[in-house]
Amino acid sequence: MYAIFLKEIRSFLGSLIGYIVMGVFLLLSGLFTWFIEGNNVFDLGMAGLPTLFGLAPYMLIFLVSAVTMRSLSEEKRLGTLETLTTRPVSDLGIIMGKYLAAVALIAISLIPTLFYAYSVAQLATPAGNIDYGALWGSYFGLILLSACYASIGLFASSTTDNQIVSLIISMVLSLFFFEVLSLMGDIEWLDRIGKSLEWFSLNFHYESISRGVLDTRDLLFFGSFAALFIALTKTQFESRKW
């Protein structure tokens, strides 16, 4: 598993796409947080990063899908799945190695945004007077959210040998579980069913954690969500044996 983890990290950091995807993410999040008129830090006049944490879930859908799109599909296309699975590693070991690498890469991409947090803390009066609970909660929420997106992305990647198809499946599924399910709660005629569906959306639990309150129910939800998609990936991965 460690060998695969290491290879994934290296191949991502060794490829141009990796830097482009990370660059685009940082550029957009930086622009929206500081420069684009309307909702930037100075317009809001508050010592916090609501714009960043409001937008990041959507940008992460793209970032995570781009990171995971080739993880299994490329192995399928090249045929290297055959050399990989005939080595002394279990199928779950291969999947987890790739999964953990994807989560680690996204965590790395998020690190530069800590600079925004530091800047905001310096701008606050008096300096450093910001809601650290909400800040760390939001970061933690983003990591958990990415972990869920990554499991979706890996699953999408296991269904096809085409990177672009994988990217699209992953983005559509992620958007569905983050946004569409959460909007169900707003549809009046769905009433209680809508509210229940909303509970199953990633957005519902992300918002809850962003407030800075760590609720075990949210943690459990994120954990089971990722586990479910990893299990689906494993099932899909083993379909070669049927």
Partner 1 sequence: MSIRVEKLAKRYSSQWAVDRISFDIPQGQIVGFLGPNGAGKSTTMKILTGYIPPTEGKAYMSGLDVEEQAVEVRRITGYLPEHNPLYLDMYIQEYLGFVARLNQIDSSKKAIEKAIDMTQLGKERHKKIGQLSKGYRQRVGLAQALIHDPKILILDEPTSGLDPNQVQEMRQVIKTLGQEKTVLLSTHIMQEVQAMCDRVIIIHQGQIVADGDIATLQSKQQQSFSVRLELDQACDLNKLLSIPGCQQADQVAPNTYLLRGQSADLRSRIADAAKAENWTVLEMRSETHSLEDVFRELTS
C-beta of 17: minimal distance to partner 1 in Å?
Answer: 11
Rg (C-alpha) for the chain, rounded Å, is 19
Burial class (CB in 10 A: 0-12, 13-18, 19+), 98: buried
List the one residue from 2, 37, 45, 192 that touches partner 1 (CB under 8 A).
Answer: 2
Indicate whether 217 belongs to the interface with partner 1 (CB under 8 A): no
Say how far apart CA 178 and CA 191 lie, in whole Å. 20
List the one residue from 4, 66, 167, 169 that touches partner 1 (CB under 8 A).
Answer: 4
List the one residue from 15, 129, 196, 224 that touches partner 1 (CB under 8 A).
Answer: 15
List the one residue from 42, 86, 111, 188 that touches partner 1 (CB under 8 A).
Answer: 86
> Which residue, 81 or 168, has its beta carbon nearer to partner 1?
81
Q: Which residues contact 185 (CB under 8 A, 6 or more apart)?
A: 194, 195, 197, 198, 201, 204
C-beta of 150: minimal distance to partner 1 in Å?
Answer: 21
Indicate whether 235 belongs to the interface with partner 1 (CB under 8 A): no
Q: Residues of 54-72 as b/e, b for ≥16 C-beta within 10 angstroms?
A: ebbbebbbbbbbbbbbbbb
Say how far apart CA 21 and CA 16 lie, in whole Å. 9
List the one residue from 17, 23, 87, 127 that touches partner 1 (CB under 8 A).
Answer: 87
Indicate whether 162 belongs to the interface with partner 1 (CB under 8 A): no
C-beta of 39: minimal distance to partner 1 in Å?
Answer: 40
Residues in region 59-78 near partner 1 by CB under 8 A: 78
> Which residue, 2 or 189, has its beta carbon nearer to partner 1?
2
* Terminal-residue alpha carbon distance, the chain: 24
Say how far apart CA 32 and CA 52 lie, in whole Å. 7
Closest CA to 119 of 53, 172, 41: 41
> Which residue, 79 or 133, has its beta carbon nearer to partner 1?
79
> Which residue, 46 or 78, has its beta carbon nearer to partner 1?
78
List the one residue from 38, 45, 88, 126 that touches partner 1 (CB under 8 A).
Answer: 88
Indicate whether 89 belongs to the interface with partner 1 (CB under 8 A): yes
Say how far apart CA 44 and CA 127 lie, in whole Å. 17
Segment interacting with partner 1, rule: CB under 8 A, options 4-12, 24-32, 122-130, 179-187: 4-12
Structure tokens at 100: 């953990």
Say how far apart CA 114 and CA 166 lie, in whole Å. 30
Segment interacting with partner 1, rule: CB under 8 A, options 3-11, 60-68, 163-171, 229-237: 3-11
Interface with partner 1 by CB under 8 A: which residues? 2-4, 6-7, 10-11, 14-15, 78-90, 240-241
